[in-house]
């Protein structure tokens, strides 16, 4: 029993370590892309079209002769930006809506929650697809779209937290002391609401990255020439018989990063929410 | 030897007379039936279902209302035109509903002689001059789904002369009339059926025509099922059913061909090398059916300066473009609209390989700097473009972006879903470059692009004085182009018209007028040998497309 | 309890209205002009201004937006869903036909995911820390992280292109008339769709069972000498299944939403692909109706899941 238990613990720690390594590498790649990438990711060298992996092109070259590795490195920017940014926007919007609904209750609450219900009734990918088709495919727009898609979930979590918190003694006390609602929300409610959101945030980033990849794969992601992992897969699928190696690296990257965020999220949950420990 | 000689025989002249009369009767009899017999099918019917893999959403199985050039791939399965294009690109009477035509009144009247015994699908009866005249007259009517009114602007009306003769009256002489009719404008439908189903929109989904297969079912975006027309005038069709499957993913369409799921499939550039390696697939191609490149607004600065236009062309390595985007399956253009080998083409190697247009980024860069200096523009010069989302088109734009980046031009482009959107953006008069291609089967297509009244010529037609203005030099060029193209259609003899079209092409190329045909399109189809008959010779017609009736299932 | 369900059902109505409003607004905001699209432009053709004006009038685009919305709603209820701008065909029968397929795909994938997920999760819990457990756990963890479209792509490359064992995609079989072909065509798509669900269920089942195994009554049963299989099936499963079933039924809605990408990769005739194609081609009416139908389908399946869950759990009583 002892050995097996330790093994489990070890594995758990190792998984978290693995996650940290992957995320660290990705972050470094995203931030230091211009220095790390061996070639210009957007410069087309058509005579090198579809070259297999070699000394010059470690992961091969794509249809226009652009270095796959460099594009992979720059692609990390888009994925991380949209993943983290999207969740950030969702948290911001969701918090405002959730706190307002939970605090004021009544008609305001009903209305806001109905809208949130309506929004979350749409399948995420279809909603995102339609929104991007409207607003166009720039990084900022897609961050906003991903954020909007994720807002209902955050709003609901925050709202239920607020509902349970508002009757607690310290809130009643502060209210009795005449503090203004805005101040109460900011100083007292929010800090206590955030825990469940943060616990889930990492998993949310993973979902956001998958969403962005799916959008790019379908051709409605960030406009070229910005490299995105999903977009790279889209082009790679076209030439899968001439250059099958091109389909591997972007898919593996998406998989690893999403996996890492999942592990990270699990570890975070273990740390922040001991009640849930043991359900692993 | 003494000649008995029938000249001395008193029966001689009588015999002569009788034989002349008899000969005359036989001749008359022969002329009364179709002197050009229908081309029979190459094989006895073997039944079964023939599957064709097509690469995009079909717009209309009735053909007349189909909007895509590539739609020829499927609508000729069931529809037929009055005068058909042969494999050589010229009129092929053996497969035409009109087996002959006469040119009368110095080119202002064309008399078409219709075949007898051509049965419509669905038991509608025989095709007569009434049907043909009605089919042609709807070209100019607004609610028939016709978009061909401007293509047939010389056409006035069609008149029944008798049951099997139709006269087409023209407003003005047009050497290209027959050529224009090769495409869907002269598809013959049954007026009775059209009116029975309730007009254009209904006829789209329930067309009845004269072709070998009749539409049975159309699942938009999925497939079309056609069933054989047993009373087809050329004989019993060789398959029982034809299914046109929409397989948009190129990869999967090739896989379907490799396994025999489809018998014939449209191949995109990426699939051609692999298909050629497969021993079960026969790849056929037809070059010169069009070009890929871009059209530009020659009146939007800085494109109003010919040096700028030349620089942009000189920065593009057409061989590299062909290799990377089209995997060497297209051709770098050596002519203008039509390939040099075509009857309508010019040999412009001297222009493409000469200083004017040769690939030379350094020289291009100098030209850009010159223009910037003269027009007091800041480098990099910014150009706007519009591109379709389709992967190869998008890649083309990315290629241009990279190529023009080298010479000091910053090219950004908008991505749109389809040709209609592309045109809409272009018509807002702020876009310089419109990445596109053109299907150019016959010379009348040039008018659609180069004339000052044509849709393709965005500056002249829409944007003049909306922020776009031709330079004085270019104004003269446009005037000359207009003059040449109009003169060409005024010719009665096609040969004379062709000479003038050649002059126009040369002028257009020297001035990089309206469009730049960077590569010459080649259409590819693959044929699955084990299951398909009809693959031994090139099945493509002069328009670069197949006819489903040519194939049969091997047993 | 009936009152609770009726109330829940009634509560769905304002949400449905909001959804319809959202769909309507979404489509109106999409760029490009459907009237122009209908008037038709070929690769170098012109737009006839008279035709364009007529089409605009026919489609009702010259009326105020609110009027358009209301008449659209009325049309839905009366079964007149309009005709596609691109093909001119009735939207209603097309969507129904495709919905039929998507539901088929969704159900089969869901069943596959549930069966595989629960059974492997059980095995994994029973044989803790064995190689099977590790394999299953690995699969469970990767299953939620892998992008569906990439998985589908790779499977096509391996099984359809290299090995040629399965078709590239496409679907034209019927379960009853050609079961073998049906299985061949359904295998890869359902595998891809079911993977995510199976992965989640594996983890849940395993975790729930492990927790139940620690319960006193299980220890009692084991102490009484009951056979292990009876312990598992007779006692543990029944109580641990509840959260699993909850999640499984809630996931059905997500699964339906997830058919979109799978249908695209495998070129399947479902609603998801229909909608995506329509968005990319700007076939607005189809987008409108398709989105509405799919969203309502997801909402309904969530409602059914809710009913099931409430029915099954004796501890929950709503008034």
Give C-chain residues touching A115 at CB under 8 angstroms.
18
> Would you state the pLDDT for residue B482?
92
Are A246 and A239 in contact by the 8 Å Cβ rule? The answer is yes
Tokens encoding B84: 């058909």
The C-alpha of C277 sits at a distance from chain A's nearest C-alpha, in angstroms, of 10
Give A-chain residues touching B270 at CB under 8 angstroms.
238-239, 242
Which has the closest alpha carbon to C105: C317, C259, C208, C244? C259
- Cβ neighbours around A127 below 10 Å, total: 23
Alpha helices in B406-489 (DSSP H): 419-426, 444-450, 458, 472-489
Higher-confidence position of B206 and C39: B206
Write down the mean pLDDT value for chain C.
79
Q: How many CA atoms lie within 13 A of B249 on its CB side?
A: 25
Contact B405 A43 (CB under 8 A): yes
Spatial separation of the C-alpha atoms in residues A99 and A93, rounded to whole Å: 10
Are B189 and B214 in contact by the 8 Å Cβ rule? The answer is no
Q: Which of C33, C83, C164 sits opposite B259 (nearest CB)?
A: C164
Contact B323 A224 (CB under 8 A): no
**Phi then psi dihedrals of residue C219, to 5 deg:** -60, -40
The C-alpha of A35 sits at a distance from chain B's nearest C-alpha, in angstroms, of 21
Condensed to tens digits (0 to 9), the pLDDT of residues B378-425 reads 989 999 999 988 888 889 999 999 999 999 999 999 888 777 778 888
Q: Give the SS3 label for residue B412.
A: strand
Q: Which of C31, C143, C150 to mutate to test the interface with A (most CBs of A within 10 A)?
A: C150
Strands B433-439 and B98-104 come out as unpaired
Mean predicted confidence (pLDDT) in B373-379 = 91
Contact A217 C149 (CB under 8 A): yes
Alpha helices in chain C (DSSP H): 2-29, 34-39, 49-59, 65-78, 91-126, 131-145, 148-155, 179-213, 216-223, 228-230, 238-266, 271-281, 284-312
Strands B552-553 and B264-267 come out as unpaired
Are B509 and B351 in contact by the 8 Å Cβ rule? The answer is yes
Residue A65: closest C-alpha in chain B:
B324
Q: Give the SS3 label for residue A181.
A: helix
Q: Is pLDDT of C115 > 50? A: yes
Higher-confidence position of B448 and A155: A155
Contact A46 B320 (CB under 8 A): yes
Which residues have C-beta within 8 Å of that of residue C103, sequence separation ≥ 6? C256, C297
Contact A224 B399 (CB under 8 A): no
Contact B403 A44 (CB under 8 A): yes
The C-alpha of B118 sits at a distance from chain C's nearest C-alpha, in angstroms, of 29
Residue C273: closest C-alpha in chain B:
B221
Strands B155-162 and B213-219 come out as unpaired
> Would you state the pLDDT for residue C43?
42
Q: Enumerate helices (H) and strands (E) in chain B, giving the number of each.
A: 18, 17
Question: Among all chains, which residue has been given the structure tokens 């179709």?
Answer: B34
Interface predicted TM-score of the whole assembly (ipTM), two decimals = 0.82
The C-alpha of B251 sits at a distance from chain A's nearest C-alpha, in angstroms, of 6
Which has the closest alpha carbon to C269: C186, C201, C207? C186
Provide the residue-wise pLDDT of chain A in tens; the chain has 280 residues.
Answer: 455 565 566 556 777 788 889 999 999 999 999 999 899 888 888 888 898 999 889 999 999 999 999 999 999 999 999 999 999 999 999 988 988 888 888 888 888 888 888 888 888 888 898 888 888 788 999 999 999 999 998 898 888 888 888 777 777 777 777 777 777 777 777 777 777 788 788 889 999 999 999 999 988 888 878 899 999 998 888 787 778 889 899 999 999 999 999 888 888 777 766 554 444 3
Question: Among all chains, which residue has been given the structure tokens 């058509």?
Answer: A46
Question: Among all chains, which residue has been given the structure tokens 């009116």?
Answer: B195
**CA triple B439-B442-B446, angle to 5 deg:** 70
> Would you state the pLDDT for residue B438?
80
Spatial separation of the C-alpha atoms in residues B149 and B444, rounded to whole Å: 13
Q: Per CB distance under 8 Å, which residues of B are interface residues toward A? A: 249-251, 270, 273-274, 317, 320-321, 323-325, 327, 389, 391, 394-395, 397-399, 401-403, 405, 415
Contact C19 A131 (CB under 8 A): no
Q: Per CB distance under 8 Å, which residues of A are interface residues toward B? A: 42-44, 46-47, 49-50, 63-65, 137, 219, 223-225, 234-235, 237-242
Question: Among all chains, which residue has been given the structure tokens 């008069």?
Answer: B429
State pTM to two decimals: 0.81
Cα–Cα distance list, A225 to A208, A237, B334 (Å): 21, 18, 30
Write down the mean pLDDT value for chain B.
87
Higher-confidence position of B112 and A219: B112
Are A145 and A135 in contact by the 8 Å Cβ rule? The answer is yes
């Amino acid at each position: 029993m002892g050995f097996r238990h330790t093994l489990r613990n070890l594995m758990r720690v190792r998984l978290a370590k693995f996650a940290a390594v992957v995320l660290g590498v990705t972050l470094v790649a995203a931030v230091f892309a211009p220095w790390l990438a061996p070639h210009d990711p957007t410069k087309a060298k058509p005579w090198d079209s579809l070259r297999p992996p070699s000394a010059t092109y470690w992961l091969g070259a794509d249809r226009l002769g652009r270095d796959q590795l460099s594009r992979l490195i720059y692609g990390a920017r888009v994925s991380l930006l949209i993943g983290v940014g999207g969740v950030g926007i969702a948290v911001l919007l969701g918090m405002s809506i959730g706190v307002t609904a939970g605090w004021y209750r009544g008609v305001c609450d009903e209305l806001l929650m109905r809208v949130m219900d309506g929004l979350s009734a749409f399948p995420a990918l279809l909603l995102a697809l339609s929104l991007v088709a409207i607003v166009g495919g720039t990084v900022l727009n897609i961050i906003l779209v991903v954020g909007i898609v994720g807002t209902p979930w955050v709003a609901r979590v925050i709202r239920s937290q607020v509902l349970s918190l508002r009757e607690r003694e310290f809130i009643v006390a502060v209210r009795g002391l005449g503090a203004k609602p805005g101040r109460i929300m900011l100083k007292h409610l929010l800090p206590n609401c955030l825990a469940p959101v943060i616990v889930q945030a990492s998993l949310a980033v993973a979902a956001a990255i998958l969403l962005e990849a799916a959008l790019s794969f379908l051709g409605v992601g960030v406009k070229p020439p910005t490299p995105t992992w999903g977009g790279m897969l889209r082009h790679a699928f076209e030439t899968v018989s001439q250059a099958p190696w091109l389909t591997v690296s972007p898919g593996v990257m998406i998989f690893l990063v999403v996996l890492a965020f999942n592990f990270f999220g699990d570890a975070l949950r273990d740390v922040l929410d001991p009640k849930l420990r043991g359900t692993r | 030897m003494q000649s008995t000689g029938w000249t001395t025989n008193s029966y001689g002249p009588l015999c002569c007379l009788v034989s002349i009369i008899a000969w005359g009767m036989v001749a008359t009899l022969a002329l009364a039936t179709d002197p050009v017999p229908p081309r029979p099918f190459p094989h006895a019917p073997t039944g079964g279902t023939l599957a064709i893999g097509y690469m995009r959403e079909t717009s209309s199985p009735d053909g007349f209302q189909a909007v895509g050039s590539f739609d020829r791939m499927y609508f000729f399965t069931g529809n037929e035109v009055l005068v058909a294009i042969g494999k050589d690109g010229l009129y092929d009477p053996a497969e035409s509903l009109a087996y002959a035509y006469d040119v009368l009144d110095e080119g202002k009247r064309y008399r078409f002689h219709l075949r007898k015994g051509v049965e419509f699908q669905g038991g509608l009866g025989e095709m007569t001059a009434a049907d043909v005249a009605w089919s042609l007259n709807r070209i100019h009517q607004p609610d028939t789904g016709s978009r061909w009114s401007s293509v047939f602007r010389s056409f006035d009306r069609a008149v029944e002369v008798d049951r099997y003769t139709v006269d087409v009256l023209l407003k003005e002489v047009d050497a290209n009339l027959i050529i224009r009719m090769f495409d869907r404008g002269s598809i013959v439908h049954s007026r009775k059926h059209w009116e029975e189903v309730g007009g254009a929109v209904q006829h789209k989904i329930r067309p009845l025509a004269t072709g070998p297969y009749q539409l049975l079912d159309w699942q938009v975006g999925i497939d079309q099922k056609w069933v054989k027309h047993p009373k087809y005038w050329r004989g019993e069709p060789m398959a029982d059913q034809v299914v046109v499957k929409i397989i948009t993913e190129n990869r999967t369409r090739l896989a379907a061909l490799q396994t025999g799921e489809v018998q014939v499939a449209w191949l995109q550039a990426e699939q051609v090398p692999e298909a050629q390696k497969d021993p079960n697939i026969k790849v056929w191609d037809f070059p010169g059916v069009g070009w890929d490149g871009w059209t530009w607004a020659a009146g939007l600065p800085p494109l109003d300066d010919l040096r700028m236009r030349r620089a942009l062309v000189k920065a593009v390595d057409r061989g590299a473009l062909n290799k990377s985007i089209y995997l060497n399956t297209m051709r770098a253009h050596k002519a203008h609209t039509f390939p040099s080998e075509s009857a309508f083409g010019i040999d412009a190697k001297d222009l493409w390989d000469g200083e004017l247009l040769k690939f030379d980024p350094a020289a291009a860069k100098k030209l850009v700097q010159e223009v910037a200096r003269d027009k007091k523009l800041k480098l990099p010069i910014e150009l706007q473009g519009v591109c379709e989302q389709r992967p190869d088109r998008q890649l083309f734009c990315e290629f241009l972006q990279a190529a023009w980046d080298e010479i000091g031009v910053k090219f950004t482009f908008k991505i749109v879903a389809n040709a209609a959107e592309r045109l809409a953006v272009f018509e807002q008069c702020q876009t310089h470059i419109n990445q596109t291609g053109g299907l150019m089967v016959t010379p009348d297509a040039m008018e659609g692009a180069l004339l000052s009244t044509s849709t393709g010529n965005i500056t002249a037609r829409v944007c003049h004085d909306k922020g776009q203005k031709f330079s004085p030099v270019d104004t003269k060029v446009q005037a000359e182009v207009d003059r040449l193209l109009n003169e060409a259609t005024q010719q009665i003899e096609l040969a004379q018209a062709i000479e003038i079209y050649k002059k126009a092409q040369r002028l257009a190329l020297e001035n990089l007028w309206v469009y730049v045909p960077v590569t010459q399109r080649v259409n590819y189809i693959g044929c699955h040998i084990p299951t398909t008959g009809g693959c031994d010779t090139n099945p493509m017609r002069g328009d670069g497309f197949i006819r489903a009736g040519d194939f049969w299932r091997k047993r | 309890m009936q009152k609770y369900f009726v109330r829940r059902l009634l509560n769905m109505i304002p949400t449905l209205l909001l959804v319809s409003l959202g769909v309507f607004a979404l489509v109106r905001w999409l760029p490009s002009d459907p009237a122009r699209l209908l008037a038709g432009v070929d690769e170098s053709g012109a737009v006839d201004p008279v035709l364009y004006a007529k089409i605009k009038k026919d489609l009702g685009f010259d009326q105020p937006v609110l009027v358009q919305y209301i008449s659209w709603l009325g049309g839905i209820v009366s079964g007149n869903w309009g005709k596609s701008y691109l093909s001119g065909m009735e939207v209603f029968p097309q969507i129904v036909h495709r919905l039929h397929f998507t539901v088929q795909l969704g159900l089969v994938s869901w069943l596959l995911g549930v069966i595989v997920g629960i059974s492997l999760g059980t095995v994994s819990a029973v044989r803790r820390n064995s190689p099977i457990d590790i394999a299953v756990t690995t699969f469970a963890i990767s299953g939620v992280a892998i992008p569906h479209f990439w998985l589908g792509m790779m499977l096509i490359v391996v099984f359809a292109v290299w090995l040629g064992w399965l078709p590239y995609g496409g679907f034209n079989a019927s379960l009853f008339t050609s079961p073998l072909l049906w299985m061949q065509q359904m295998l890869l798509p359902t595998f891809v769709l079911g993977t995510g669900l199976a992965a989640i269920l594996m983890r849940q089942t395993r975790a729930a069972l492990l927790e139940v195994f620690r319960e006193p009554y299980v220890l009692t049963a084991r102490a009484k000498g009951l056979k292990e299989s009876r312990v598992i099936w007779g006692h543990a499963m029944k109580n641990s299944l509840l959260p699993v079933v909850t999640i499984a039924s809630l996931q059905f809605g997500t699964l339906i939403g997830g058919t979109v990408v799978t249908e695209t990769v495998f070129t399947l005739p479902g609603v998801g692909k229909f909608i995506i194609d329509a968005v990319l081609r700007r076939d607005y009416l189809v987008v409108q109706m398709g989105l509405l139908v799919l969203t309502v389908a997801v909402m309904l399946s969530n409602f059914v899941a809710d009913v099931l869950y409430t029915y099954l759990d004796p501890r929950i009583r709503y008034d």
